[in-house]
């Protein structure tokens, strides 16, 4: 469709002043990928995308940072990296004061306002805001644990979990408390520890006014309302609502 000063897609309303850009855009609708890699089965919609793809075979990273030794395959990646030096966060949220370095991060952030979870699991009703989260979730269905420890046979579903595990070999505790000498391996544990300084008890019981600083403590407390005793002795009919009570009980069988 011709418009004043430009051309418009009949299928979605996209407009551009360039016939070539419109032709490339239409491939989104048709699925056409006329540019083919000669080294693998990759195909794409633009010559530029194909050129960038070639670098996965050649190992080239032609875009170099002038401030450090970082290099990459696209100009846009280099520009985003430059913000680590300048401190710029050019993408601003229109609903709050959040800002970030990429349009992708801003779009993900926007879901905190809209409540959208556009990534849907095909095997259950799980949905989330990031494709990476969906991929990690998929492992609960496939049983895959693609991240392997190079020192032992441990494997897990995320790079973050693998990094945390690595500290069991190195002895590192990189998370440091700013108020005391406490250190640990996980951000989650540091956050829980911080409550000992702030007095915050964010976990609230829905049945009484009890509150505490860990989800585990809240779960244990809930048994006082439900009467559950999930910790079972394997040698007699003793059961308890607390793991440490069961541990103490087990000593009676060792005498």
Report the pLDDT averaged over residues 199-221. Answer: 93
Burial 156-190 (b: 16+ CB within 10 A, else e): bbbeebbebbeeeeeeeeebeeeeeebebbeeebb
Burial 9-48 (b: 16+ CB within 10 A, else e): eeeeeeebeeeeebebbbeeeeeeeebeeeeeebebbeee
> For residue range 72-84, what is the model confidence (pLDDT) as tens digits?
999 999 999 999 9
**pLDDT for 2 beyond 50:** no
152-160: list long-range contacts, CB under 8 Å, 24+ apart. none
In Å, how far are 7, 118, 145 from 139, measured between CA atoms? 45, 19, 7
Each domain of the chain, given as residue ranges in start order, spans 2-58, 63-114
Catalogue the E-assigned strands of 49-98: 63-64, 71-72, 91-92
Report the pLDDT averaged over residues 148-173. Answer: 95
* Residue 4 pLDDT: 44
Report yes or no: 162 and 149 within 8 Å, Cβ to Cβ: yes
Residue predicted with more confidence, 2 or 17: 17
* Residue 108 pLDDT: 94
| DSSP string for 134-145 | HHHHHHHHH---
- For domain 63-114, give its CATH number from 3.30.2010.10, 3.30.160.60, 2.40.30.10, 3.20.20.70: 3.30.160.60
Fold of 2-58: Double Stranded RNA Binding Domain (3.30.160)
Report the pLDDT averaged over residues 125-154. Answer: 95
Report yes or no: 167 and 180 within 8 Å, Cβ to Cβ: no
**pLDDT for 11 beyond 90:** no
Residue predicted with more confidence, 167 or 19: 167
d(CA 193, CA 177): 8
Report the pLDDT averaged over residues 157-186. Answer: 95
User: What's the mean per-residue pLDDT of the chain?
Assistant: 92
* Residue 106 pLDDT: 95
d(CA 37, CA 134): 28
β-pairing verdict for 127-128 and 147-148: unpaired
Judge if pTM exceeds 0.75: no
Report the pLDDT averaged over residues 90-118. Answer: 94
């Amino acid at each position: 469709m011709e418009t004043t000063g430009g051309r418009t897609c009949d299928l979605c309303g996209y407009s551009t002043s360039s016939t070539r850009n419109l032709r490339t855009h239409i491939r989104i609708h048709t699925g056409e990928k006329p540019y083919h890699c000669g080294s693998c089965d990759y195909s794409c919609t633009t010559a530029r995308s194909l050129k960038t793809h070639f670098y996965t075979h050649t190992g080239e990273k032609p875009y170099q940072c002038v401030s450090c030794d970082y290099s990459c395959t696209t100009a846009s990646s280099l520009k985003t990296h430059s913000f680590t030096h300048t401190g710029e966060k050019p993408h601003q949220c229109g609903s709050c004061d959040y800002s970030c370095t990429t349009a992708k991060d801003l779009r993900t952030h926007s879901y905190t306002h809209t409540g959208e979870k556009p990534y849907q699991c095909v095997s259950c009703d799980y949905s989330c805001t990031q494709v990476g989260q969906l991929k990690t979730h998929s492992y609960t269905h496939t049983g895959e644990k693609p991240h392997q420890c190079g020192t032992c046979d441990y494997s897990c579903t995320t790079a973050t979990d693998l990094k945390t595990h690595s500290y069991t070999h190195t002895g590192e505790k990189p998370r440091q408390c700013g108020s005391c000498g406490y250190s640990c391996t996980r951000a989650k544990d540091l956050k829980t520890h911080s409550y000992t300084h702030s007095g915050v008890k964010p976990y609230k019981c829905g049945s009484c006014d009890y509150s505490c600083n860990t989800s585990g403590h809240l779960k244990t407390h809930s048994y006082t309302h439900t009467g559950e005793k999930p910790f079972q002795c394997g040698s007699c009919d003793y059961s308890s609502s607390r793991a440490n009570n069961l541990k103490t009980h087990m000593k009676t069988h060792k005498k």
